[in-house]
Structure 1
Amino acid sequence: MLDNQSTMSDSSLHLLIARRVRELRAARGLSLEALATHCGVSRSMLSLIERGESSPTAVVLEKLATGLGVTLPSLFEAPAAAGDPVSRRGQQQSWRDPHSGYVRRNVSPAGVGSPIQLVEVEFPPGARVAYETAAREAQVHQQVWVLEGVIDITYGEEVFQLGAGDCLAMQLDRPMAFHNPSASTTRYAVAITTIRS
């Protein structure tokens, strides 16, 4: 189970996300207005996020990640010693979605240049999150491996009901939704890789 000790304070995490969004936007030479238009997030919301004054939902952060050409876990990456191949549990960033209450924790070491990102998720009973994911410049592939509980994943028009031990592979190129239909928390791991041409 994810523990509270590895969760940053809300203000620290907002500042981390703010810095990452500013860095990524600057690296792509985008103005606030251009990024807002590109990803479908209002300029005022984007400005609040970049100042660390907002608690954006997972849906808003996914829109930003798509618009910036990165994966969602990339928005939570803290500075790390370049090349350190070990990600210690106590230093891994956890974040709680203010809308659904689901908690995600970046597991992979940052700064090692690996194309693979691992995330652990705790999804509360009855929670639902729907992403308007669309095709990206680079192909992003994701696998969801259920460790405990059950999760229903809608991928485009298909619905997959997964239980403990099940694993679903998909490309992040269409809308998707996650729903925990049970009365217990579901825990799953996500492996994400980006293929650039």
Structure 2
Amino acid sequence: MEINHRIAARVRQIRADQGLALDALAERSGVSRSMISLIERGESSPTAVVLEKLATGLGVPLASLFDAPAAPADPVSRRKDQVEWRDPASGYVRRNVSPPGFPSPMQVVEVVFPAGARVAYETGPRPGVQHQQIWVLQGTLEVTVDKTRHELDAGDCLAMVVDRQITFRNRTSKPARYAVIIDHRPA
């Protein structure tokens, strides 16, 4: 399934499961009703920032928007089945590594962040507490949480709670590759 159609199906499914109308999700997420409609029809290639706003409005981790709808619970995630998505604004590529549909409070995502790229998430409070760790595997990455800036090199790991603005930036001339480990236990 093409990634935009997968995202479309997941947003529709999660919204329907929660009994949310388009207007209600628009109000909760800060994304316009028309944009949500385009995304749910697979007619828009949303940016990472828009997807993060939708995930926050739906009360789910961003990574869950990339799962296949009604994915069977399998404890193994094969590389050939892991879908990659490219952010149309920054060019960063993300891949959900964790098995989709498997009941676990943790997810692992791999990101390749291009040279010179910048993405700012205006994440707000969510139901429960979502912990996240950024483990830099290759290159250098700058992560700013609110006003605190962290320079991370290969091997460094940053732990944080996802409840405030987070900005990722690669100020170098080479891509950075990192793993995001997400703990999203329900409230």
Q: Which amino acid aligns with 2:168?
A: F
**Shift in Å at residue 111 of structure 1?**
1.5
1:195 partnered with 2:185: yes
Structure 2 contact 114–175 (Cα < 8 Å) conserved: yes
Aligned to 2:160: 170
Q: Which amino acid aligns with 1:93?
A: V
Structure 2 SS opposite 1:195: coil
TM-score (norm 1): 0.92
Structure 1 contact 80–110 (Cα < 8 Å) conserved: no
Aligned to 1:22: 12
- Of the three residues 141, 154, 158, the one matched with 2:144 is 154
Aligned to 1:119: 109
Q: Provide the C-alpha distance between the structure 2 equivalents of 1:81 and 1:102, rounded to a whole number of angstroms.
A: 25
| Aligned structure 1 segments of 4 or more residues deviating by more than 2 angstroms | 79-83
**Shift in Å at residue 49 of structure 1?**
0.3
Q: Provide the C-alpha distance between the structure 2 equivalents of 1:151 and 1:127, rounded to a whole number of angstroms.
A: 10
**Shift in Å at residue 190 of structure 1?**
0.5
**Shift in Å at residue 79 of structure 1?**
4.4
Aligned to 1:4: none
Q: Deviations over 1:153-188 (max 9, x none)?
A: 010110000000000000000001000010000000
Aligned to 1:181: 171
Structure 2 SS opposite 1:139: coil
Q: Provide the C-alpha distance between the structure 2 equivalents of 1:80 and 1:151, rounded to a whole number of angstroms.
A: 34
Q: Which amino acid aligns with 2:148?
A: E
- Of the three residues 28, 31, 36, the one matched with 1:46 is 36
TM-score (norm 2): 0.97
Name stretches of at least 5 consecutive residues in structure 2 with no aligned partner. none
Q: Deviations over 1:110-138 (max 9, x none)?
A: 12101110000000000000000011012
1:138 partnered with 2:138: no
**Shift in Å at residue 80 of structure 1?**
6.7
**Shift in Å at residue 139 of structure 1?**
0.8
Q: Which amino acid aligns with 2:21?
A: S
Structure 2 contact 13–69 (Cα < 8 Å) conserved: no
Aligned to 1:3: none
Percentage of identical aligned residues: 62
Q: Which amino acid aligns with 2:46?
A: P
Q: Provide the C-alpha distance between the structure 2 equivalents of 1:81 and 1:60, rounded to a whole number of angstroms.
A: 24
Quote the RMSD (CA, aligned, Å). Answer: 1.1
Aligned to 1:74: 64
Larger deviation, residues 75-84 vs 141-150: 75-84
Aligned length: 187
1:90 partnered with 2:80: yes
Structure 2 contact 10–69 (Cα < 8 Å) conserved: no
Aligned to 2:94: 104
**Shift in Å at residue 82 of structure 1?**
3.0
Q: Provide the C-alpha distance between the structure 2 equivalents of 1:56 and 1:81, rounded to a whole number of angstroms.
A: 22
Name stretches of at least 5 consecutive residues in structure 1 with no aligned partner. 1-7
**Shift in Å at residue 83 of structure 1?**
3.0
